[in-house]
Amino acid sequence: MKKQLILISALIGASVVTSASGSEEESLGKWITTISRTKEVKPVNNVAYAEECGACHFAFPPGLLPIQSWKKLLNPQALEDHFDENAELDADVLKSIQEYVFANSSEKSYHKRSRKITRSISKGETPLRITEVAYIKRKHHELTDNMVKENEDVSSLSNCNACHTQAEKGVFDDDTVRIPNFPEWED
């Protein structure tokens, strides 16, 4: 069993849990968690980021954009005029957020959605929105304005967590989607 798990881990590139002391069952649990998380997007695990970048909207996991996009978004000039809002940060806070985001951007991640996002962006392209990434656009192409812009409980495709009930956990799987006010899309 252990051998198989190590092999799976090596294949998906997840870090190997080395603790030999825990019970077999406990480490199996950890493996399963690691593997299932690797399928989706790494959830936000940085307090400064969650607070500052979750103040106006859902705190987008860094694995939803490549580093070149984050570099354009996360600098003092850009943050002063961030989608028509002022989102400027103290220099030290910005530095710690940059370090966290750059280290966890999509091309550094082995998580399934992050890999798909990276692959769908062509060389030299720098999307400033997750919702402009080809993979994300493709996944939502069937949604109508009635469901998104004109839906008062959604209003923008950027509000991932209005429909993705487990977005905070980094889970975007279609089994966990609901569209407010569209009963056929409720759970």
Q: Contacting ligand HEC (CB under 6 A), which of 72, 108, 115, 129?
A: 129
Among 10, 16, 56, 103, interactor with ligand HEC by CB under 6 A: 56
Site string for ligand HEC, 135-164 (x = CB under 6 A): -x--xx--x---xx-----x-xxxxx-xxx
Query: Which CB sits closer to ligand HEC, 2 or 140?
Result: 140
Among 98, 90, 83, smallest CA distance to 49 is for 98
Cα separation, 79 vs 89, in Å, equals 8
Can residue 42 be called a binding residue for ligand HEC (CB under 6 A)? no
- The residue type at 13: G
What is the DSSP secondary structure assignment for residue 34, as one 8-state letter?
H
H and E: helices and strands count for the chain? 9, 0
51 CB neighbour count, 10 Å cutoff = 12
* Residues found near ligand HEC in the complex (CB under 6 A): 52-53, 55-57, 60, 64, 73, 82-83, 85, 87, 97, 113, 129-131, 136, 139-140, 143, 147-148, 154, 156-160, 162-164, 172-174, 177, 179
